[in-house]
Amino acid sequence: GQNIDQPTEMTATEGAIVQINCTYQTSGFNGLFWYQQHAGEAPTFLSYNVLDGLEEKGRFSSFLSRSKGYSYLLLKELQMKDSASYLCAVRAFSGNTPLVFGKGTRLSVIA
């Protein structure tokens, strides 16, 4: 089976740094994705990790440890517009396999 866990809600202050964790247990592993989703909108792609380590892209970074089944998304210099849900998703196999999503973490950025 597939199981992806992430915290339900988080709150952080504007300008601060926040780390959103994701743990997964899947029958296979062919990449981990992070998406941002604002209410009523479709998810937008943030990052993709398939090898262990840190991927940095501007204010956003994502880390993966395959041996631990663990990833995190790091958001720096938080802005109010970063208030959204952040979805962790795993692709178990290569080829035409879909992503399996976690329940998402609702991040609220406060002044």
Residues at the contact surface with other proteins, assessed by CB under 8 A:
31, 33, 35, 40-45, 48, 87, 94-96, 98-104, 106
Cα gap 70→102, rounded to integer Å: 13
Smallest distance, Å, CB 58 to other proteins?
16
Rank residues 67 and 96 by Cβ distance to other proteins and give the closer one: 96
The dihedral of CA 28, 34, 39, 42: what is its sign? negative
CB 35 within 8 A of CB 45: yes
Smallest distance, Å, CB 94 to other proteins?
8
Rank residues 14 and 41 by Cβ distance to other proteins and give the closer one: 41
- Please name the residue that has the structure tokens 């970063």: 82
Cα gap 92→29, rounded to integer Å: 4
Rank residues 10 and 100 by Cβ distance to other proteins and give the closer one: 100
